[in-house]
Amino acid sequence: MANTFGQLFRTTTWGESHGDAIGVIVDGCPPQMKLDVQDIQKELDRRRPGQSEISTQRKEGDQAEILSGIFEGKTLGTPIMIGVWNRDAKSKDYDHMKDKYRPSHADYSYDAKYGIRNWKGGGRASARETIGRVASGAIAKKFLFQEFGLEIVAYVKQIWEIQANIDIDVVTQDDVESNIVRCPDQDIAIRMIERIKEARKDGDSLGGIVECVARNVPPGLGEPVFDKLEADLAKAVLSLPACKGFEVGSGFGGVVLTGSQHNDAFYSEDSRIRTKTNNSGGIQGGISNGENIIIRAAFKPTATIMKSQESVDVNGNPITIEGRGRHDPCVLPRAVPIVESMMALVLADHALRHRGQTGT
Amino acid sequence: MANTFGQLFRTTTWGESHGDAIGVIVDGCPPQMKLDVQDIQKELDRRRPGQSEISTQRKEGDQAEILSGIFEGKTLGTPIMIGVWNRDAKSKDYDHMKDKYRPSHADYSYDAKYGIRNWKGGGRASARETIGRVASGAIAKKFLFQEFGLEIVAYVKQIWEIQANIDIDVVTQDDVESNIVRCPDQDIAIRMIERIKEARKDGDSLGGIVECVARNVPPGLGEPVFDKLEADLAKAVLSLPACKGFEVGSGFGGVVLTGSQHNDAFYSEDSRIRTKTNNSGGIQGGISNGENIIIRAAFKPTATIMKSQESVDVNGNPITIEGRGRHDPCVLPRAVPIVESMMALVLADHALRHRGQTGT
Amino acid sequence: MANTFGQLFRTTTWGESHGDAIGVIVDGCPPQMKLDVQDIQKELDRRRPGQSEISTQRKEGDQAEILSGIFEGKTLGTPIMIGVWNRDAKSKDYDHMKDKYRPSHADYSYDAKYGIRNWKGGGRASARETIGRVASGAIAKKFLFQEFGLEIVAYVKQIWEIQANIDIDVVTQDDVESNIVRCPDQDIAIRMIERIKEARKDGDSLGGIVECVARNVPPGLGEPVFDKLEADLAKAVLSLPACKGFEVGSGFGGVVLTGSQHNDAFYSEDSRIRTKTNNSGGIQGGISNGENIIIRAAFKPTATIMKSQESVDVNGNPITIEGRGRHDPCVLPRAVPIVESMMALVLADHALRHRGQTGT
Amino acid sequence: MANTFGQLFRTTTWGESHGDAIGVIVDGCPPQMKLDVQDIQKELDRRRPGQSEISTQRKEGDQAEILSGIFEGKTLGTPIMIGVWNRDAKSKDYDHMKDKYRPSHADYSYDAKYGIRNWKGGGRASARETIGRVASGAIAKKFLFQEFGLEIVAYVKQIWEIQANIDIDVVTQDDVESNIVRCPDQDIAIRMIERIKEARKDGDSLGGIVECVARNVPPGLGEPVFDKLEADLAKAVLSLPACKGFEVGSGFGGVVLTGSQHNDAFYSEDSRIRTKTNNSGGIQGGISNGENIIIRAAFKPTATIMKSQESVDVNGNPITIEGRGRHDPCVLPRAVPIVESMMALVLADHALRHRGQTGT
């Protein structure tokens, strides 16, 4: 289901970056849950471009409207339709992009697949599509918190070669929001901000890693063998623009440990079975074990840069593409609420599925 | 769909490691394709334990039987059912495992989810479940090769800290099969084999990385925004037992590049649009661009070791688990055909979906 | 997928009758197809209340807006979002309906399921939801006609006890649109219209049967064993409000024939294999055989009447419900484009799926 | 998902009538449910040919084997694989059928779709495929009874023109099983049996209607707008071989009533909201209302008859097909457990989905 994610808690996004509007349908959300447009807007505001001096300076208002599925402030259990109008999209001149394939954008591959594309912008490949995901994720997060006290916190773990040191068990969203790069290691954050400013000056861009933790996850979520919890998390994360890698728990670093170093010993605490270490990242055999779920997403540097680049036009003729307008030197700070949202969509869906199959 | 993977080319696996049998239904395979049990058996033989001195010494025959979907040597377009009988499973004594939670196995999480598990072995969490995937993958590989000349080659890229150097554009399956560790870098392979033997002697286990390439991939495969090709590949790979990480193209390594270093410049060659570098890993915007698709899967060291470990029983009481019987010090060589299979399942499904939506 | 229909050609409707808006996402539509809002509007106009003296006198403009998925007059292959604003919905006073369960409406069952409902109207159970289906169906019909010359014609076959006699092989949409009851048997149409006027005068309502034919259907559509073509048609039709029965080909009438009377003999015509009779209704073994597909849908009389009725309130206390406002004495004429749409959605989806699996 | 039915309680059938075996995977069955092969066998015995003098005289043992998903007599929550070996299938000579299209069978349409078919029998189009459905249905029925005390009773309502009169609120399975035609109206049953014997003597076949009731259905099952309970029931029933029509509640008969006659008045009984009549058939707005669910399935006379018939061969040349071997003059008695199974599959799936979305 190309534009739909989830089986019981289902998210369908729609809209091109330079069409009239963009949005999402959330189908399967439990009924009788209090929901206000502000619950959604506050997360869209975290995702919005132009929040700080290190982000793109494009200003997008991104005001959400809820068009269905809510009655007297509560969810009906029917599809929740949320739209955001692309107010500024039409005023600009994009004719120079019409015949060009921008390097490491999706211009060529969309043409190869569909034989047509909205060349006025990234279309569905634009990061603007994630508006719908963040809106749906805001609802999923609210459900998970109400139902289980489950909380999800993501932050920037690495920008370029600059890596932060963060205590994943205690970091809060307030810590994350305390600086504009959304890295709760304050000293490292300063270095990251400097490096991003430098990249902007160079007309270049930077990638990095977002780490995300879910705490108070009930044991039992995940459906082996194909819908293992980590498999759906990996899909969720790799479906994001610019994402090139995913890890859970020990991840790639775990391959240099031996089994005796890597195994998480069980112990008992307050009549709950726990593990002393958490190399498993809160998931064993595809099912949550009640420990914190820890994932990491690697984002490549964004493709839009202000340097001139070699490329071809739609006929294969060599061209040079010049940087033009404004660019976002590093999307990582804005990716933080997006990764949280994807984690929330997976957990909410699996919570409903688990309840469906087992009654618990 | 917990035990089903794919939308048009659908794989449903069934069976516990210590039940009567294990197998797969392949539903949606194109009709009129020549298919023989030998096409499947040859891949099962690559997956089978006991192939070499560095693998587990358990002998499992793993003889496939095709019970439906084939007529006079060709696929009917109806469900292909393939079963493998667990001939030896029942003879052993597993009573000592009944009440114990083995560290970093799925014993506890299965109990937490279902309130019941087949304690005689790993059940569905056993790597034995991948028999069904490899059988289905053999069919998918055959379809992809016949339809597009598409070939998939995987190999061991890293064991523990020992990393191979392999030319991904030219490596062949013969190169891979030329040694027992399935690493086509012959010098490194010798070191890997030594290290695995050492681990076996220690009663310990090792993890590593499998790299996999698909060549001659038609442009246009993948369905944004949620069923992007890399998203489905990530899900496929992370659904494998012991897998903790996934990368496509530049992966985690790409985060230390700048945009101007990472972008893949387009050029034209023989009236085909190509990229000079392939940091994208053959996928842009979730859609194949015709370059080689390159993925990597990180496997943790296997949980079964011969050392004694602390744990708890089902009531939470502390216990010590002693190593017993035989163990597989490193599953990486056997994971090679499994990763190839998962790549094939994703590509076959997306080839059919692309043909469905666009007629090409 | 509660609010989504189809696997490759997917229709997701959203919106309550008395919310802000109502609409549909069409996901998976083939790219590069010419599509204009007028293609959709002309079908919505056939569905709209207030078209004639025998329909409800509520006036609903039902102006469609396409918000995504189209670029320069052509489909992009991405989700097509179509919305219709409920311009008048909010001005009325519905407080008297708040606590009442109207007989044979969905008020009680929605409360039983969700514990909440939008009591200002039928919500999702309102026939207004079919706006989205008709919009999507308009696209599916256009695709089917362009691709195969396939045409779909529905009409009113029966109102109450008054049954028409129609030659299903030649009836055209012009014939159907030639009178306000959409029954191409002109004499019977006059009697139907009289009977509906009488029912309106009585404050009562009438049911009936819509028959629908698809011509120029390619052989091979339908996916046994569960997604047989007639199975998906039955689901499509029974998902409509007020529908209580479905038939294909001989239907219930076929049970009084013997096998030798019912069997459709094959013969050859212009190197095409055909059947002399068509009791099968164009489908054999769940797969189209190239003959006309013929289905019938039974609609009960609508639940809203102007007579007083016994019922209960939400607390179970007995109440009397009085007729109030305007009612639609017979929805059958407006159901005609809706049934056509559902037929189109099923055939378009199966055309894409067939092309996907078999390449034809 | 061609061969899979259901979203949380999923049934995947496999096997051709003349292949090695036939069977089913039941995926998503709740864990910890007691299940014995005898629970399944007793229902297969009701479906089996050769039970009585009015059925086909082919003897098929149809012994079920459970190959996975059960441990120590209880469901594991993992896929339950059930197989039945086609012990006699291979011994016969079917060469005379190789090039012939039998009237009103699926021979031609399967060839049109797949370009290949197993001409030794009906393949997937054979009623033998329903073995898997009945096996899965037996599990679903057991779950529904344990969970809700829900019971499902089907019976033969009509054979040819002979119609029974049955009190749907009280009829029991013992009543149904009290005669070989499975019609609990004893006088009518005698006439039906006579008529079937006559048809067999004539080498002809008869159709009829199976009616099915579900009692003690919890209110709230069904997922508008596309997965309305009646929509999924209609799909389930129309996916059966030889089925041509479906009704719920008043069905086609309801079209001759007026709204005031058809509406089901609500009243209160023992603090439960009920309806005085049940024209709705226990479903309103696509959701169960707690009243009995009542459906009817129309089956055409079976296509296999012993009379000579005109047809064509695979090249379109005219041929005459002679009756040969044994035939089943009326499948209705054997269809009874099959219709019950389909009702059970729909209700079990919706019970799990409802629990998933709403927690109740």
Nearest by CB: C21 against A25, A28, A67 = A67
Amino acid at A117: R
Distance (Å, whole) CA A332 – CA A199: 13
Nearest by CB: D116 against B32, B114, B117 = B32
Alpha helices in D28-129 (DSSP H): 37-47, 107-114
Q: What is the mean pLDDT of residues C343-357?
A: 98
Count the neighbouring beta carbons within 10 Å of the beta carbon of residue B54.
20
Residues 60 through 89 of chain A touching chain D, CB cutoff 8 Å: 77-78
Proportion of chain D above pLDDT 90, given as a percent: 89
Residues C291, C275 contacting (CB under 8 angstroms): yes
Nearest by CB: B30 against C7, C30, C358 = C358
Residues A110, A2 contacting (CB under 8 angstroms): no
User: Which strand (E) or helix (H) includes residue C133?
Assistant: helix C130-148
Distance (Å, whole) CA A124 – CA A88: 17
pLDDT confidence of residue C6:
98
Phi and psi at residue A7, to the nearest 5°: -110, -45
Proportion of chain A above pLDDT 90, given as a percent: 89
Distance (Å, whole) CA B226 – CA D241: 36
Nearest by CB: B356 against C31, C224, C355 = C355
Cβ neighbours of residue B95 closer than 8 Å, sequence gap 6 or more: none
Burial class (CB in 10 A: 0-12, 13-18, 19+), B19: buried
**Mean pLDDT over all residues of chain C?**
95
Contact across the interface for C245 and D244, Cβ inside 8 Å: no
Distance (Å, whole) CA D186 – CA B116: 47
Distance (Å, whole) CA B17 – CA B23: 10
Amino acid at C275: T
The pLDDT of residue D91 is above 60 = no
In DSSP terms, which residues pair with B311 in a beta bridge?
A: B319
Q: Assign 3-class secondary structure to B21-68.
A: EEEEEEECCCCCCECCHHHHHHHHHHHCCCCCCCCCCCCCCCCEEEEE
The pLDDT of residue D261 is above 60 = yes
A115 touching B (Cβ < 8 Å)? yes
* Dihedral over alpha carbons B231, B235, B237, B239 (to 10 degrees): 180
Give the tokens for residue D201.
């003597």
Pick from B286, B278, B284: nearest CA to B353: B286
Q: What is the mean pLDDT of residues A65-89?
A: 93
From chain B, the residues in CB contact with C352 under 8 A are 356-357
Residues C155-186 have pLDDT tens digits of 999 999 999 999 999 999 999 999 999 999 99
**Mean pLDDT over all residues of chain A?**
95
The SS3 assignment for A237 reads helix
Residues A218, A290 contacting (CB under 8 angstroms): yes
From chain B, the residues in CB contact with C30 under 8 A are 357-359
Q: What is the mean pLDDT of residues D18-47?
A: 96
Residues A234, A222 contacting (CB under 8 angstroms): no
Residues D126-175 have pLDDT tens digits of 999 999 999 999 999 999 999 999 999 999 999 999 999 999 999 999 99
C117 touching D (Cβ < 8 Å)? no
Distance (Å, whole) CA C278 – CA D258: 33
Distances (CA, A) of C209 to B150, B221, C155, C252: 52, 44, 9, 13
Distance (Å, whole) CA A149 – CA C129: 36
Q: What is the mean pLDDT of residues D196-223?
A: 98
Amino acid at A42: K
Residues B256, B246 contacting (CB under 8 angstroms): no
Q: What is the mean pLDDT of residues C74-94?
A: 85
DSSP characters for D163-201? E----TTT--HHHHTTSTT--S-HHHHHHHHHHHHHHHH
A324 touching C (Cβ < 8 Å)? no
Residues C254-268 have pLDDT tens digits of 999 999 999 999 999
Give the tokens for residue B264.
């893949």
Most distant CA pair in chain B, distance: 69
Residues A263, A254 contacting (CB under 8 angstroms): no
A352 touching C (Cβ < 8 Å)? no
Residue matched to tokens 């998976």: C28
* Dihedral over alpha carbons D259, D262, D266, D272 (to 10 degrees): -150
Count the neighbouring beta carbons within 10 Å of the beta carbon of residue D310.
14
Print pLDDT tens along chain B (360 aa): 899 999 999 999 999 998 999 999 999 999 999 999 999 999 999 998 878 888 765 666 899 999 999 999 999 999 999 999 988 655 567 788 899 999 999 999 999 999 999 998 899 999 999 999 999 999 999 999 999 999 999 999 999 999 999 999 999 999 999 999 999 999 999 999 999 999 999 999 999 999 999 999 999 999 999 999 999 999 999 999 999 999 999 999 999 999 999 999 999 999 999 999 999 999 999 999 999 999 999 999 999 999 999 999 999 999 999 987 788 999 999 999 999 999 999 999 999 999 999 998
User: Which strand (E) or helix (H) includes residue B84?
Assistant: strand B80-85
The SS3 assignment for D136 reads helix
Distance (Å, whole) CA A137 – CA A338: 8
pLDDT band at D50 (very low <50, low <70, confident <90, very high): confident
Nearest by CB: B25 against D14, D78, D123 = D14
pLDDT band at C224 (very low <50, low <70, confident <90, very high): very high
Give the tokens for residue C320.
């009397």
Beta strands in chain C (DSSP E): 4-5, 10-14, 21-27, 64-66, 70-71, 74-75, 80-85, 100-101, 151-159, 162-163, 208-215, 243-248, 266-269, 272-275, 283-284, 287-288, 293-299, 309-313, 318-321
Pairing of strands A74-75, B100-101: unpaired
Residue matched to tokens 């809700």: D148
pLDDT confidence of residue D88:
64
Proportion of chain A above pLDDT 70, given as a percent: 97
Distance (Å, whole) CA A160 – CA B12: 41
Distance (Å, whole) CA A78 – CA A28: 7
The SS3 assignment for B358 reads helix
B358 touching A (Cβ < 8 Å)? yes
pLDDT confidence of residue A60:
65
Q: What is the mean pLDDT of residues A331-342?
A: 98
pLDDT confidence of residue C192:
98
B43 touching A (Cβ < 8 Å)? no
Q: What is the mean pLDDT of residues C264-287?
A: 97
Q: Closest approach of chain D CAs to the CA of B354, in angstroms?
A: 17
Pick from A215, A15, A23: nearest CA to A136: A23
The pLDDT of residue D92 is above 70 = no
Pick from C178, A3, C271, A86: nearest CA to B222: A3
Contact across the interface for A254 and B301, Cβ inside 8 Å: yes
Cβ neighbours of residue D274 closer than 8 Å, sequence gap 6 or more: D266, D267, D268, D290, D291
Q: Which domains does chain A have, with CATH numbers?
A: 4-358 (3.60.150.10)
Contact across the interface for A78 and C32, Cβ inside 8 Å: no
Instruction: Say how far residue D185 (Cα) sits from the centre of its chain.
Output: 21
Give the tokens for residue D259.
């709204």
B228 touching C (Cβ < 8 Å)? no
For chain A, first and last CA: distance in Å? 28
Q: What is the mean pLDDT of residues C195-220?
A: 98
Sign of the four-CA dihedral B311, B317, B322, B327:
negative
Cβ neighbours of residue B307 closer than 8 Å, sequence gap 6 or more: A260, B202, B203, B204, B323
> B78, B87, B97, B124: best mutation site toward chain D, by most D Cβ within 10 Å?
B78
Residue matched to tokens 């910890």: D32
pLDDT band at C97 (very low <50, low <70, confident <90, very high): confident
- ipTM for this model: 0.97
Q: What is the 3-state composition of chain C as percent helix, strand, coil, each rounded to the nearest 5?
A: 35, 25, 45
Residues A111-141 have pLDDT tens digits of 999 999 999 889 999 999 999 999 999 999 9
Q: Closest approach of chain A CAs to the CA of C99, in angstroms?
A: 15
Pick from C2, C11, C1: nearest CA to C130: C11
Q: What is the mean pLDDT of residues D93-122?
A: 93
Q: Closest approach of chain D CAs to the CA of C282, in angstroms?
A: 10
pLDDT band at D55 (very low <50, low <70, confident <90, very high): confident
pLDDT band at C89 (very low <50, low <70, confident <90, very high): low
Distance (Å, whole) CA A89 – CA A93: 10
Least confident of A157-171, D83-97, D283-297: D83-97
Identify whether B255 is preceded by a cis peptide bond (ω within 30 of 0).
no
pLDDT confidence of residue D89:
58
Distance (Å, whole) CA A32 – CA A122: 37
Q: What is the mean pLDDT of residues A41-47?
A: 96
Residues A249-291 have pLDDT tens digits of 999 999 999 999 999 999 999 999 999 999 999 999 999 999 9
Nearest by CB: A358 against D31, D353, D358 = D31
pLDDT band at C51 (very low <50, low <70, confident <90, very high): confident
Minimum CA–CA partner of B14 in chain D: D79
pLDDT confidence of residue B89:
58
Question: Is pLDDT larger for residue A96 or for residue B56?
Answer: A96
Residues 287 through 306 of chain A touching chain B, CB cutoff 8 Å: 287-290, 298-305
